[in-house]
Amino acid sequence: MSEPIIAVDHLTKRVTDSTGTLTILHDINFTLRPQESAAIVGASGSGKSTLLALMAGLDVPTEGRVVIEGEDLFALDEDARAALRARKLGFVFQSFQLLGNRTALENVMLPLELAGRRDARQLATEMLGRVGLGQRLSHYPRVLSGGEQQRVALARAFVVQPRLLLADEPTGSLDFATGETVMALMLELNREVGTTLVMVTHDRALAQRCERQLHIEAGRLVDV
């Protein structure tokens, strides 16, 4: 059996304010294999997005570890975590997070340019064609529909062929039909590129299209 792409080990997150201490995540443990697809499912406020942020090293746990291909995220300093994210992780957000002053092509080229790829334009053009936006390369986000913007975001995430893609409610701001299209495309790219996919969603029907469902209730993992 292949080594895990990511291991979440006794992950706990607590926050303290004037009212006391709140435990957001309680002792979370699971591993994911290369090319696996998994959905993190739970009610609003259950800790799903906090878990995703910890898996990306964007937040720091109170206890526990996240190990990505043998590298303990929280044994690294902030700069080293950022470098690891640039090498191995892709992100897709509900709010798209596109740069409004850049075209669709320029948005997808950006991570490649940051990585020093000289073939950034060619690779970005090909990936936008792959998601059905080959005729929209020069369009800015403001003239694209929500579904088109999310497809640009998918192209930007997959163009660097990340080892792990983290998606936070990627269809949450889309209508049902558009969300279905985006979800199908994300799973298709997951298989083609070989990226491990982790998706936070409250939609159990979408979650069932992933190979695994990780159910979070009040910060506890109740089913793996």
**Mean pLDDT, to the nearest integer, of 47-61?**
92
Average pLDDT for 165-178: 84
38/206: higher pLDDT = 38
Q: pLDDT at residue 176 above 80? A: yes
pLDDT at 45: 84
Query: Which of the four pLDDT bands, split at 50, 70 and 90, describes residue 178?
Result: confident
Q: How confident is the model at residue 26 (pLDDT cuts 50, 70, 90)?
A: very high
Query: Is the per-residue pLDDT at 126 higher than 90?
Result: yes
What torsion do the CA atoms of 148, 150, 109, 144 make, to the nearest 10 degrees?
30
Tokens of 134: 């080959």
Measured CA to CA, the distance from residue 52 to residue 197 in angstroms comes to 12
| This prediction's pTM | 0.84
pLDDT of residue 1: 56
Q: Is the pLDDT of residue 2 over 80?
A: no
Q: Cα angle at 40 between 44 and 184, to 5 degrees?
A: 110
Average pLDDT over residues 174-187: 82
How far apart CA 196 and CA 187 sit, in angstroms, is 10
- The SS3 of residue 146 is helix
The residue ranking higher by pLDDT, 123 or 87, is: 123
Percent of the chain at pLDDT > 90 equals 57
pLDDT single digits (tens) 132-147: 899 999 999 999 998 8
CATH topology of domain 34-59+71-223: Rossmann fold (3.40.50)
Average pLDDT in the 53-78 region? 94
114-128: average pLDDT: 92
Domain residue ranges in the chain:
34-59+71-223
What rounded mean pLDDT belongs to the chain? 90
H or E stretch covering 64 = strand 63-68
pLDDT at 149: 92
pLDDT band at 65 (very low <50, low <70, confident <90, very high): very high
Residue 224 pLDDT class (50, 70, 90 cuts): low
